[in-house]
Structure 1
C-alpha cells in the first residue's frame, strides 16, 4: 500500500521506517527543512522506559500550588483564554488519583519497555549511531519525602518486570561519580539499569537516511494544508507543493495533530506542553554525568551525550509559543550546576525550547480512527524518543492487520470516550 506519513520528527520517521520494512511505499511530508527540527531537536535525550510516568499524579494538585511560588518551578502555567487548555487541564486533573496513576503508568511502561527492545533490535540490524549509551538512569531525590514516595513507582515497575534499585547517597555517587563534587544534600535515588540515553536529532536523521536509501520519499519544506478525503476515506493531503495521494494517511504531527484532525470531525486530546533544554560542552569529564540523572525536585534530566551535557525538562502550559525566557534557562543551569559543578560550559551553552504533544493521561494515541484510512501516532508528551520505535512498530502491525506483540487495545483514541465537547471525558 501507499502510505503518507505527516510529520518527520522521531515519531514520523520511525513510523516511516517500520512501514517501509513491512513492504509499503511510504512518503513523508514536513514543513521543516529536514527531519527532527522541532520537538525532536534538542529534547532531554533520555530513553527511559522505567521512568515513564504520567504528569497526572495524586500529588500534582498540591505540588502545583507550591510550584507557583517557586523561582525554579518544574511546572509553569500561563493562563489563557483557550478552551482547549481548560479542557485538557481539567481532564489531566481528573487523572490525578492513585488508581488512574497506576493504570496510566502501567500502560506507558508497557509501551516504553517494548520500544526499548525494538530500538535494541534496530541498533543491531543497522549499526545506527547517535551518541547512544546503555548505562542506565538515576532518579535523584533531594528530600526524604521524595525517597519515601518512590515505593509507588517501584511497585508498578516490579509488576511490569522492570529491574530497578533504590540507592542511598553513597549508592548514587557510586553509580554517578560526578555527584561526589556536589554540595547538594541529596538523600538517595532510584536507579533503572536498563534505561538508555542518546541524541534524538542524530538518531532521527540517521534513520531517515537509511529509510531514504530503502525507498522512502521525503518532502521537506512542504506545508501541509489539509488531509484530503474521498467518500469519507482519508486519501492524501493538500500541500504547498500540490496534492499527494495515498491509500492510508498517518498523522504524526505532534502538538499540531489536533489542528489537522479537527476539520475531519476528530477532536484529539492533545495539547502542547512546552519544555526547555540547554546543551553544554563538557569541561571536566570527571565532574560530568556518566548517563542520565533525573533531578526530581526540578523535573530536570541531565544527560551525557558524547562530549556534551544535555539538560532538559520543565513543563509549561502557555499555548503554541517558543519564546526563551531567561528564568527557564536559569532553572536548568541551577539544576546541573548544583549537582555537577564545573562539569560543563554553562555560560556557552545553547538554549532551546520545544512543544511536547501531551495527552491528559500521559499515554499516546496510536491506531485507527473513525475516518477510514486515517491512523494516529501522536500525543507522546515527554516520551516521544523513549516510545518512538515501539509506537511505530505497533502501528505498522495494526496497519498490516497483525496483532501487535504487546497489548495495544488501550492505546487508541477510543479510550477517551466522548472527548468532544466534554470538560471531563471518561477514560477506559
Structure 2
C-alpha cells in the first residue's frame, strides 16, 4: 500500500518506520528542512510511562486559580479571546473528575507502557544511540499535601502493574545524590524505576536515517496546503510542489492537525499548549541529576542527557505564539538551581519553546477517522516522546489490517462521539463550520 505520512516529528517518523517495516511504500512530507525540528527538537527528554497522567485531574480548577498568583506558575493562560481555546478548556474542565481521571490515566499508562516495550525492541533492532539512560524518574514532592495526593496515582499504577517506589527524603537522596544540598526542601518522592531518558531529537533524526535506508521517502521543505476528498476518501494532498496521491494518509502534524482536517468536517479537539525548555552543559557531576526529576510544585522536568541538563515544562495557552518569554526562562532556571544548584553552566543556556498538541482528556488520537483512508496519530501533549514508538506500532497494525497488541478501541477520534464514562465530557465530531 502507498501511504503518505504528514509530519516528520517523532510521531511521524516512528509511524513511517513501522509502516515501512510492515511492507508499505511510505512517503513523509514536512515543511521543515529535516526531521524533528519543531516540538520534538528540545523537549524535556523523559520517557515516563508511569508518569503518564492527564492534566485534567480532580482539583486542577482550584489549583489553576492559585497558580495565577504564583511567580513561577506551571500554567499560564493568556487573556486573548479565542473560541477554540475556550471550547478546549471547557472540555478539559469536564474531564477534571475522579471517574474521568481514572479512565484517562489508565489508557494513557497502557499505551505508554506498550510504547516503552516497543522502544526497547526498536533500540535493539536498530542500535540507535540517543543519550539514553534507563535509571527511572523521580517525582519530587516539596509538601506533605503533594505526597498524600500521590495515592490516587499509586492506585492506578498498581492496577496497571507498573513498578514504583514511594520514597522518604533519604530515599530521594539515595536515588538522586545531587539533591543533597536541597534536602531541606524535599518531603518525599514517587520513583518509577522503569522510566527512561533520552534525546528525542537525536532519536528521531537517527530513526529517519534508518527509515530512509529501508526505502521511506522524505520530502522536506514542502508546505502542506490541503487534503482533497472525493467519495468519502482522501484522493491527494496538495503541497507547495503539487498534489501527492496515495492509498492512505496519516495525520501526524501535531498542533497543526486540526487546521488541515477541519475542511473535511472533522473537529479534532487538539490545542497547542506551549512549553519551554533550557539546555546547559554540566560543570559539576556530583551535583547533576542522574536521570529525570519532576519538580511537582512547578511541573518542571530536570533531565540528564549525556553531558547536558535539559529543563522543560510549563503549559501556556497562547495559541500558536512561539515567542520566547524571559519570565518563563527564569522559572526554569529557578527550579534547576533550587534543586541542583551549581550542576550546570547557566551562562551557556539554550532557550527553546515548542507547541505540544494536547487533547482535553490527555490521551492522543490514534487510529481511524470517519474518512475511509485517513488515519490520525496526533494529540500526544507532553508525552509524544514517551508514547511515540507504541503509537507508531498501533497505527501501522491498524492500517495493515492486523490486530493491535494492546486494546486500541478507545484511542481513536470516535471516542469523542460515544457515550462518555460517568463524570466525563465528550468532545465534538461534526462539521467544523457548525
TM over 0.5: yes
Q: Which residue of 1 aligns with 2:74?
A: 74
Q: Which residue of 1 aligns with 2:398?
A: 398
User: CA–CA distance in 1 between the matches of 2:206 and 2:184?
Assistant: 39
1:15 aligns with 2:35: no
* CA-CA distance at 1:425 after TM superposition: 4.9
Q: In the TM superposition, what whole-angstrom CA distance separates every residue of 1:273-332 from its partner, at most 9, and x where no partner exists?
A: 000000000010110000000000000000000000000000000111111111100000
TM (norm. structure 1) is 0.98
1:180 aligns with 2:170: no
Q: Which residue of 2 aligns with 1:260?
A: 260
Give 1:263-282 correspondences, 5 Å limit.
Answer: 263-282=263-282
Q: In the TM superposition, what whole-angstrom CA distance separates every residue of 1:334-365 from its partner, at most 9, and x where no partner exists?
A: 00001001000112200000000000000000
Kept in 1: contact 2:169–2:183 (CA 8 A): no
Give 1:29-178 correspondences, 5 Å limit.
Answer: 29-178=29-178
* CA-CA distance at 1:124 after TM superposition: 0.7
Kept in 2: contact 1:235–1:373 (CA 8 A): no
Q: Which residue of 2 aligns with 1:382?
A: 382
RMSD: 1.3
Kept in 2: contact 1:6–1:250 (CA 8 A): yes
Q: Which residue of 2 aligns with 1:352?
A: 352
In structure 2, runs of 5+ residues without a counterpart are: 429-434
Question: Secondary structure at the residue paired with 1:96?
Answer: coil
In structure 1, runs of 5+ residues without a counterpart are: none
Question: Secondary structure at the residue paired with 2:79?
Answer: coil
Kept in 1: contact 2:95–2:425 (CA 8 A): no
* CA-CA distance at 1:402 after TM superposition: 1.1
Number of residue pairs aligned between Structure 1 and Structure 2? 424
* CA-CA distance at 1:235 after TM superposition: 2.5
User: CA–CA distance in 2 between the matches of 1:236 and 1:123?
Assistant: 34
Q: In the TM superposition, what whole-angstrom CA distance separates every residue of 1:223-247 from its partner, at most 9, and x where no partner exists?
A: 0001122322112210001111100
Kept in 2: contact 1:50–1:157 (CA 8 A): yes
The verdict on how the C-alpha distance between 1:223 and 1:427 changes in structure 2, with shifts beyond 3 A counting, is closer
Kept in 1: contact 2:45–2:303 (CA 8 A): yes
User: CA–CA distance in 1 between the matches of 2:247 and 2:185?
Assistant: 58
User: CA–CA distance in 2 between the matches of 1:403 and 1:362?
Assistant: 24
Kept in 2: contact 1:10–1:36 (CA 8 A): yes
